[in-house]
Structure 1
Amino acid sequence: MISRRYLRVKTFQALYAYFQSSDKNVNKAESELFLSLEHMYDLYLFFLALPAEIVHRAELRMEEAKTKRLPSEEDLDPNQKLVGNRVFRLITTNKHLSQKLNERKLSWSPDQDLITKFMNFLRKHEAYIEYMSTREFSFEQDQKFVVTLYKKIIPDFELMLSEIQDKSIFWGFDEIDFVLSMVLKSVKRFKENSDEFTPLLDLYTDKDEDVKMVKKLFRKTIEDDKANSKIIADKTQNWDVERIAMIDILLMKMALTELIHFNSVPVKVTLNEYIELSKWFSTPKSKVFINGVLDKLVADLKENGKMKKIGRGLLDA
């Protein structure tokens, strides 16, 4: 589920917090880093639990409508499209999902007021109105609606985003945005003839390798901090190092750590990744600055033999 790029993002955030903090307990900081990753997976499961609430509320509303003193024709014969959505069914009947939700004690039960407000918002949303405008059923329509739910309707409902962020310090806006993209990835994998929910995404693509990468990147960047600071200072002599954004310096230190200690990661990949991260976290000018400094560093590392890459083409920048 979590790509190597996002693992770098989470490691960067943990390193930034570590260097900003007066508490220099590396083990504690590392534990919090992996805890933040686990909480992202909780958020993924939490969002997948929402369709069960939507279907349940829709069913209750239909039953209540039938008990009106003077029920309308629509009350007596409601549009079943939402409660009959086959993608919702694949999610709500998945035993693996239910097991994980129970194990991690994740539920929308304490948030019934929020669910009520969300359902009111949902019924007024143009995507819902369009979906419910006919009684024709098709898997394609069902899947398209669920994609829209996670891609547009939930992000449009700011109260839900705010409430979710309040639930955990690990559930910030960036995490919500990323996790929703992973839920969408899951939903798009569904097949019409499938009797079961397509297997849940795992937290890691390759757990052993991903955990090893994060630990090494986190710890080596800290261990080599002074040495990397000097290397970067030597290449930024025309700049006042004190005035260079801390984010830029940290990104370059992480890049240096990868260039020196990650023998199987191509130079091009490292350069591209950290230049891309500079677009996310730093100033508009940072991309050019970091690119220029890293090019000089790569040339020096090649010349003095400090950068050893295993495999053809890995040294190419």
Structure 2
Amino acid sequence: MQALYALRQAEFSNQQLALDGIADLFQPDLNSMEPQNKRQLEGFRKLAGLLFEEAVKANQPAKDDDAPTKVLKAANDGYVFYQIRSKKDQQHLAQMMIKQVNGIYEDYIRVLSLLVELGHAAQVDSERKYRDVDETPFPFESTLNDNMVIQALASHQPLQNEMLRQGIAWADDLGFIRKALREVLKTDDTYRAYCEQRTHTEDEDQALVQYVLRTLVFKSDTIRDYLAEIDLSWTENSEVVRGLAIRTLKSAQTPAGLKLEPLTDDWEEDERFLNTLFDQSLKNDADYEQLLADQLKNWDVERVAVLDKIILKLAVCELLNFPGIPVKVTINEYIELAKAYSTPKSGKFVNGILDNLSEKLQASGRLRKSGRGLLDNK
């Protein structure tokens, strides 16, 4: 959805650049000694612009036997420029889409490594010989670094390997680490109570590290805002990252020991789904546009919110191209997307359109489901 929205914005910009290039071709030549017919040049500019816009809409070079050769050439040169730029943008955004999904896993590794780094900082802090006069006394019977789960993370070689592979290190962020320890952990009553006790059970260690993760890392402004600066998609990714991290911490108490979570059960299949959905939605855009236009007879399809239209087209693409996904699963997913990212009324709007459209597609025989896709999912 975000990739397609970004592409639409890029295409609009490319159109404006092409029109600017066309306009430059029909500016008066101030260095020419010959008289300039400004009115004619302005007419040529407008005609070339119209032909260019028709070409973009028709997705093919402009044709007009009555247009002057230089006007038609200007329009089609602009169209070629637009196509090349938009194609590059499409390829770039498709790559960025996959990169952003992988960024969820990077955030997950970063959060786990942050817990280890906070533990190390807590240990260093407890060993300081000199303290500020106005520093609030703090109990150091134990620290986060003594926590069994933190120790398991610190010694877990797969985590160290992933940190190296993802290029994650906190050496340049020690100021933030010390600030997070000082302002977030050491001011928290639950963490303080933990540090007042010299020894802890495994369950107490698990409870504390879960608390630090869920309440302090994911909810404190100091840490949350810093992570959001590192990854602009943190707000969207954090829910998945939180789930992955929680399961990883819990695994420290299993017989098999601590284990990193995979991003998905089958990343190759999920990546194929993303690429197919992106490519097919663009390839069949005109078809989906017509399906929506027929469904929105009482609406001006051009006035439907851009994001709503993207969401609807993606839903139609998923309905028609993925027979293994039940209809209701698709509709519910895109209703949630509309609620989260579009206007307050978009959820109901998308629900109504997709319910009616899916019934018509099934009746016409275009929408066919198989396997798991046949499940009703009530």
The reply to whether residue 17 of structure 1 matches residue 6 of structure 2 is: yes
Q: Does the aligned pair in 2 maintain the 1:139–1:192 contact within 8 Å?
A: no
| Correspondent of 2:312 among 240, 243, 252 | 252
Structure 2 residue aligned with 1:134: 197
The reply to whether residue 210 of structure 1 matches residue 274 of structure 2 is: no
Q: Does the aligned pair in 1 maintain the 2:123–2:144 contact within 8 Å?
A: no
Report the alpha carbon displacement of residue 147 of structure 1 after superposing the two structures with TM. 1.3
Structure 2 residue aligned with 1:303: 363
| Correspondent of 2:103 among 39, 61, 80 | 39
The structure-2 alpha-carbon separation of the partners of 1:81 and 1:244, relative to structure 1 and needing over 3 Å to count, comes to same
Report the alpha carbon displacement of residue 278 of structure 1 after superposing the two structures with TM. 1.7
Structure 2 residue aligned with 1:5: none
Q: Does the aligned pair in 1 maintain the 2:180–2:223 contact within 8 Å?
A: yes
Q: Does the aligned pair in 1 maintain the 2:324–2:374 contact within 8 Å?
A: yes
Amino acid at match of 2:359: A
Q: Does the aligned pair in 1 maintain the 2:312–2:354 contact within 8 Å?
A: yes
Report the alpha carbon displacement of residue 212 of structure 1 after superposing the two structures with TM. 1.1
The reply to whether residue 89 of structure 1 matches residue 78 of structure 2 is: no
- 1: CA distance between counterparts of 2:227 and 2:126? 28
Report the alpha carbon displacement of residue 81 of structure 1 after superposing the two structures with TM. 4.6
- 1: CA distance between counterparts of 2:228 and 2:115? 20
Give the TM-score normalised by the residue count of structure 2: 0.72
| Correspondent of 1:264 among 324, 327, 335 | 324
Q: Does the aligned pair in 2 maintain the 1:118–1:157 contact within 8 Å?
A: no
- 2: CA distance between counterparts of 1:156 and 1:302? 45
Structure 1 residue aligned with 2:128: 64
- 2: CA distance between counterparts of 1:104 and 1:120? 28
Structure 2 residue aligned with 1:201: 261
Spell out the pairing of 1:65-214 with structure 2 (5 A cutoff). Answer: 65=129, 78-121=140-183, 122-169=185-232, 171-191=233-253, 196-198=257-259, 200-214=260-274
The alignment of Structure 1 onto Structure 2 pairs a total of residues equal to: 296
Amino acid at match of 2:121: R
- Over the matched positions of the two proteins, sequence identity in percent amounts to 29
Structure 2 residue aligned with 1:237: 297
Q: Unmatched 5+ residue regions in structure 2?
A: 12-84, 132-136
Q: Deviations over 1:229-278 (max 9, x none)?
A: 11111111112223322222111111100111111111121112111222
**SS at 2:145 equivalent:** coil
Report the alpha carbon displacement of residue 178 of structure 1 after superposing the two structures with TM. 3.2
- 1: CA distance between counterparts of 2:250 and 2:265? 18
Q: Does the aligned pair in 1 maintain the 2:142–2:197 contact within 8 Å?
A: no
Q: Which has the higher contact order (CA 8 A, sep 6+)?
A: 1
Q: Does the aligned pair in 1 maintain the 2:325–2:372 contact within 8 Å?
A: no
For the aligned residue pairs, the C-alpha RMSD in angstroms reads 2.3
- 1: CA distance between counterparts of 2:343 and 2:147? 45
Structure 2 residue aligned with 1:227: 287
**SS at 2:299 equivalent:** coil
The structure-2 alpha-carbon separation of the partners of 1:181 and 1:19, relative to structure 1 and needing over 3 Å to count, comes to same
Q: Unmatched 5+ residue regions in structure 1?
A: 1-11, 69-73
Q: Does the aligned pair in 2 maintain the 1:309–1:315 contact within 8 Å?
A: no
Structure 2 residue aligned with 1:53: 117
Give the TM-score normalised by the residue count of structure 1: 0.86
- 2: CA distance between counterparts of 1:205 and 1:95? 22
- 1: CA distance between counterparts of 2:291 and 2:280? 15
The structure-2 alpha-carbon separation of the partners of 1:241 and 1:315, relative to structure 1 and needing over 3 Å to count, comes to farther
The reply to whether residue 294 of structure 1 matches residue 358 of structure 2 is: no
Report the alpha carbon displacement of residue 213 of structure 1 after superposing the two structures with TM. 0.7
Amino acid at match of 1:255: A
